[in-house]
Amino acid sequence: MAQQYLSVTALTKYLKRKFDVDPYLERVFLTGEISNFRLRPNHQYFSLKDDRAKISAIMFKGAFDKLTFKPEEGMKVMAVGRISLYEASGNYQIYIEHMEPDGIGALYQAYEQLKEKLDKEGLFRAPKKNLPRYPKRIAVLTSPSGAVIRDIITTARRRYPIAQIVLFPTVVQGDKAADDVVRNIARVEAAGDFDTMILGRGGGSIEDLWPFNEERVARAIFDARTPVISSVGHETDTTIADLVADVRAATPTAAAELAVPLLSEELLRIEERQTRLQQAFVRQLQRKDERYQRIRNSYIFRQPERLYEAQSLKLDQLQQRMIQQMQTLRYEKEREANQMIHRLEQVVPTNRVRESDQQVRYLSERLNKQIRLIFDDKQRQFQQAIQALDLLSPLKIMGRGYSYTTKEAVVKSVHELTVGDQLDIHYQDGQAKVEVLEIKEEDAD
């Protein structure tokens, strides 16, 4: 009965033998898109896929070095090789002997075009938002039935159970996925009370991941105020959402680890800092106490008079210097005064004053003499003028019996008079008022 059971190794060897001897699998011509390609120093390991299937591929270094082009992710190629089975894992794979490019797939071409467009707009180079260190609420946009949400919840609860994980059920594959992702991002933003947003789904082909290469999804992630962690596909898959997001995680578990801290480590860090704070406080108290003791034992408190000894000595020195400088200044001023007196004694103006005084007296006498002469001359001229005026004075003439008549003015002719005029007659010793009764004119003869 035991002979009917085969070991895994025996079965694998049998299947490998079937692959190796099958003439149809000895030389196979395949066309497909390169997936999961990463340049390695020796042999190259990647996949070939189309819309519905994928096969692992190996290309040894000798065959790879003969290629005339550089393989890239998403490039459509034509490959020639043999199909065999790898015994260690039981997976079948193609060992490629020759490969030529067959053009770039449509989806990959659209991906590159959108990537170039958004890169020119600066969406990839824009400053990324920092993830909060201690989030309270985390929004997860993924399928409710997939392994992504389970991995995130399990990791978050294990690391940081006080954070609240809120699932926004999201279609992550198919034609409706992009719109659903955009709608749920808007719901998270409208709520406004989430610290972090995780956008995740499992791996798949470029077709499966295509909703996360849509432009509207990229712009919704970029415009979100909440920091976004993108965990889309496997580590080798890179979507537009990964490039726009603030942080990219290789797996959902890594996304949860990035979103929340490890509570035990944080508690240990808090305890460590508390201990360091206590130690620093104790050291501070010790230093303050040592300083207090040094100050307390200082001579300033034991012998306070020593505090101003130096100042007292300095004051004495300054006083001595001041006295010496004042004496020096006094001696200097006395010397200058003596020199000035000596110079003045040499140029005493006594004789000049005496001569000037004599000259002043002489000039005064001459001046007085001239004043007397001028006065006498002027007095004589004055007397002569008086005598001349007296001779011409009308009062002297009127003293001989003459008078003059006025009617507002001196009357010089009878022609200025009319009968009835009131006249004033002026005499040497007074005047009389008269009225004209008659006017007589003398003949010219």
The pairing of strands 404-406 and 228-232 is unpaired
pLDDT, mean over the chain: 86
Instruction: State which of 83-87, 225-229, 230-234, 358-362 shows the largest mean pLDDT.
Output: 225-229
In terms of pLDDT, which residue wins out, 324 or 349?
Answer: 324
Give ∠ CA 135-140-145 in degrees, rounded to 5: 145
Nearest to 192 by CA among 139, 259, 134: 139
User: DSSP label at 233?
Assistant: S
**Cβ(213)–Cβ(181) under 8 Å?**
no
Q: State the average pLDDT over residues 88-100.
A: 89
Q: Is the model's pLDDT at 4 over the cut of 90?
A: no
Q: Is the model's pLDDT at 439 over the cut of 90?
A: no
Residue 154 CB: number of other CB atoms within 10 A? 14
pLDDT tens across 335-382, in order?
898 888 888 777 767 777 778 888 888 999 999 999 999 998 999 898
Residue 47: alpha-carbon gap to chain centroid: 54
> What residue type is 267 in one-letter code?
L
Q: Which residue has the tokens 């001349």?
A: 388
Cα separation, 56 vs 49, whole angstroms: 9
Instruction: Assign 80 to helix, strand or coil.
Output: strand
Write the CA distances from 154 to 148, 157, 212, 300, integer angstroms.
10, 5, 24, 68
pLDDT tens across 140-173, in order?
999 998 888 999 999 999 999 999 999 999 999 8
Cα separation, 265 vs 160, whole angstroms: 10
Instruction: Assign 140 to helix, strand or coil.
Output: strand
